[in-house]
Amino acid sequence: MKAYILKKLLALPLILIGVSMLIFVAIRALPGDPARMMAGPEATQEAVDNMRTRLGLDRSIAEQYGQFAYGAVRGDLGTSIKSKLPVVDEIAERMPFTLGLAITAYLLAIAIGVPAGMIGAIYRHGWPDQAVMLLAIAGASIANFWLALMAMNTFSVSLGWLPLLGATSWKSFILPAITLAVLPMAVIARMTRSSMIEVLARDYIRTARAKGVAPGSIYWSHALRNALIPIVTIVGLNFGSLIGGAVVTESVFNWPGIGRLLVDSVRYRDYPIIQGVTLVAVTGVVVMNFLAEMAIAALNPKIRFD
């Protein structure tokens, strides 16, 4: 087990170096020029060139990456082109808001998704199953963005129950968290259902039933525990799409997190911020995947020797 963890841990920095290079080159390959965006439409070519020099974009990509990497290992991700503030400070200030929202949404998704999937499996083909699956399909297909606007219009504008924008009280969490939770909730419910159905067909479940074990105990301790591996996998791997969802959700709700920061920055081609936020998000995804792998290994000893 130790060797397995060590091997996985050693791969982490390599993955991050590779990803950071990829991000660095990819955002520079995008059409659009930060110097032109900053200098504005009225700027002369001379002004744009001056701006480019000022932003250090006239140097080679290798040189720019070298400087970025040198700073990054020392905890310095550069300075935002637009706000002129250190990227690390910009991210640190918003990270708690994104994490708070993501964790709330994820817990919500698990708390509702897992029991819903179990109900689907237990009452397979019955009306509860059909209801759960219908909702799950709707949840997985609905556009995050549209759902957010509808929820705002209903609960904030018409009913006036919840705050419309920003993060001003605990109530501010409700709409964005639900919006963000819908997709992972649907995925988790479907995964739990199919995983449970498979497990419920196993011999040991039949044995347990034959022995007269109470149904609640069968479902929660015998079946769910064994059905958990695919669920944990999907929870871990879905963290990335949750961050993707946060970008949209945060923008619509004016949520002061890194998702909104990223959208604002892409618009102005604020390279240092885009690099910084993406690197932090990727680190989050990589770490979550790592934790998911560890959890799976802990749940199923066989996996450790693969």
Partner 1 sequence: MDIIRKKFISARHFALGCAVTGALFVPLSAFASTLTVMQTEAPRSMDPGDQTATFTAAVLDPMYEGLLARAKDLTLQPALATEWSSDDAGIVWTFKLRQGVKFHDGTPFDADAVVKNFTRHLDTKRGLAASGRLRTFIDSVSAVDPSTVQFKLKKPYPAFLALLTTGPCLMVSPVADAAGTIGSKAVGTGPYRLQEYKSGEYVLETKNTDWWGGAAKGADEIKWTWTAEPSVMNMALQTGDADIVNPLPAAFAKQLEANPDMKVNKSDGSAVFWVSLNTKLKPLDDLRVRQALNYATDRAGLVKAIMQGNATPANSPLAPVTPGYDKTLAPYTYDIDKAKKLLADAGYPDGFSMTTIVQEPEARIGELLQAMWAKAGVKLDVQRMESGVWSKAAFADPAGKATANTGSVIASWSSGVNGADLQFRPLYHSASASPASANLGFFNDPKLDELIDKAASTLDEKARDAIYVDAQKEVNEQAPHVLLYTTQDLYAARNSVKGTWVVPGGLVVVKEATKG
Considering only 2-10, 42-50, 195-203, 296-304, which stretch makes contact with partner 1 by CB under 8 A?
A: 42-50
Report the C-alpha gap between 50 and 207 in whole angstroms.
78
Q: Site for partner 1 (CB under 8 A): which residue of 14, 31, 143, 203?
A: 31
Report the C-alpha gap between 89 and 76 in whole angstroms.
10
* DSSP labels, 44-107: -HHHHHHHHHHHTTTS-HHHHHHHHHHHHHTT---B-TTT-SBHHHHHHHHHHHHHHHHHHHHH
Considering only 69-77, 136-144, 178-186, 254-262, which stretch makes contact with partner 1 by CB under 8 A?
A: 254-262
Q: Site for partner 1 (CB under 8 A): which residue of 39, 77, 180, 183?
A: 39
Nearer to partner 1, 169 or 305 (CB): 169
Report the C-alpha gap between 24 and 60 in whole angstroms.
12
Q: Which long-range contacts (CB under 8 A, 24 or more apart) does 56-62 make?
A: 57/271, 61/24, 61/25, 61/28
Instruction: Report phi then psi at 74, rounded to 5.
Output: -95, 15
Nearer to partner 1, 4 or 155 (CB): 155
Considering only 17-25, 103-111, 194-202, 281-289, which stretch makes contact with partner 1 by CB under 8 A?
A: 103-111
- The residue behind tokens 């301790």 is 221
- The residue behind tokens 């819908």 is 182
Q: Which residues contact 287 (CB under 8 A, 6 or more apart)?
A: 12
Nearer to partner 1, 9 or 146 (CB): 146
Contacting partner 1 within 150-209 (CB under 8 A)? 152-153, 156-157, 160, 163-170, 173
CB of 154 to partner 1, least distance (A): 11
Considering only 5-13, 59-67, 107-115, 297-305, which stretch makes contact with partner 1 by CB under 8 A?
A: 107-115
Alpha helices by DSSP H, 142-252: 144-151, 174-200, 203-211, 215-217, 224-237, 239-252
Considering only 12-20, 88-96, 278-286, 294-302, which stretch makes contact with partner 1 by CB under 8 A?
A: 88-96
The residue ranges that bind partner 1 (CB under 8 A) are 30-33, 36-48, 50-51, 53-54, 80, 82-85, 90, 93-94, 96-97, 99-101, 103-104, 107, 110-111, 149, 152-153, 156-157, 160, 163-170, 173, 220-221, 225, 251-252, 254, 256-257, 260-261, 263-264, 266-269
